[in-house]
């Protein structure tokens, strides 16, 4: 079956660094996405990894290890507006473009 | 990125009635649209994949006769919740995948969601 796990909740302080982990066990793999979702809003795209290694994009970085079925999202210089849910999603292969979402991590940033 | 709209943004209906939710891709042609359901404090659960001009593909456990999907054009897909019940109350979100893969990662773009409350 498909299994994508994330911590349910995390807290951090403004200006700090936080790492949100995602482990997956899926029948296929064609890339991993991270999305941010504020309460009651649509998810917005943050990052994409398909090869092993680190992808950096401003304050956000994402890492992937395919052999370990593991990814993390690193958020630096946290701001209050970063309080949101962070969703890890694995794309299935065979050109379906279908995404299987993880359980999601609610991040609360405190001043 | 692509702009996706949904209508209505929220709806309240009585138990037993049907509700139609529209998903529109405003600035590109979407051969594929996805419908998700999200319960409070939970992640997105894929309900079905909507393909333009053909029947939708439903995920296991999703009743196709209850959640009717029509993808009549490259810019519009509709989800109709038939004979809605309180347990169908949820946040319904659509997403689009661009035809021809012109986006960098073939990422999905999400609509703003529709909050359905069934009394």
Convert the pLDDT of each residue in B42-96 to its tens digit: 889 999 998 888 889 999 999 999 999 998 888 899 999 999 999 999 999 999 8
Q: Which residues of A touch B (CB under 8 A)?
A: 31, 33, 35, 40-45, 48, 85, 87, 89, 96-104, 106
Mutate which of B44, B59, B98 to test chain A, going by most A C-beta atoms within 10 A?
B44
Helices (H), A1-111: none
**For position A1, what pLDDT does the model report?**
66
**For position A51, what pLDDT does the model report?**
94
Confidence of residue B30 (pLDDT cuts 50, 70, 90): confident
Convert the pLDDT of each residue in A12-70 to its tens digit: 999 999 999 999 998 888 899 999 999 888 899 999 999 999 999 899 999 999 999 99
Confidence of residue A94 (pLDDT cuts 50, 70, 90): low
> Looking up tokens 């995390």, which residue turns up?
A10
**For position B41, what pLDDT does the model report?**
81
Closest Cα in chain A, distance from residue B45 (Å): 7
Find how far residue B101's CA is from the centre of its chain.
Answer: 20
**For position B100, what pLDDT does the model report?**
53
Closest Cα in chain B, distance from residue A73 (Å): 17
Strand partners, A77: none
Give yes or no for a contact between A74 and A62, defined as CB atoms under 8 angstroms apart: yes
**For position B99, what pLDDT does the model report?**
52
Strand partners, A40: none
**For position B42, what pLDDT does the model report?**
85
**For position B81, what pLDDT does the model report?**
97
Give yes or no for a contact between B94 and B30, defined as CB atoms under 8 angstroms apart: no
- pLDDT above 90 (res A75): yes
């Amino acid at each position: 079956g498909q299994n994508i796990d994330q911590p349910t909740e995390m807290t951090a302080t403004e200006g700090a660094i936080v790492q949100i982990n995602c482990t997956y066990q899926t029948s296929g793999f064609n890339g991993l996405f991270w999305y941010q979702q504020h309460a009651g809003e649509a998810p917005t795209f943050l990052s994409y990894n398909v090869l092993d290694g680190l992808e950096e994009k401003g304050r956000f970085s994402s890492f992937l290890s395919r052999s370990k079925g593991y990814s993390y999202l690193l958020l630096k210089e946290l701001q209050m507006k970063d309080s949101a849910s962070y969703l890890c999603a694995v794309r299935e292969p065979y050109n379906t473009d279908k995404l299987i979402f993880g359980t999601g991590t609610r991040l609360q940033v405190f001043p | 990125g692509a702009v996706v709209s949904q209508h209505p943004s929220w709806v309240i209906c009585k138990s037993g009635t049907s509700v139609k939710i529209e998903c529109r891709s405003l600035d590109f042609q979407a051969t594929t649209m996805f419908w998700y359901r999200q319960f409070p404090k939970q992640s997105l659960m894929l309900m079905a994949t909507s393909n333009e001009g053909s029947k939708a593909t439903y995920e296991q456990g999703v009743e196709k006769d209850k959640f009717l999907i029509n993808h009549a054009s490259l810019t519009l897909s509709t989800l109709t919740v038939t004979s809605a019940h309180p347990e169908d109350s949820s946040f319904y979100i659509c997403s689009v995948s661009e035809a021809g893969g012109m986006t960098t990662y073939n990422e999905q773009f999400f609509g703003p969601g529709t909050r359905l409350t069934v009394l």
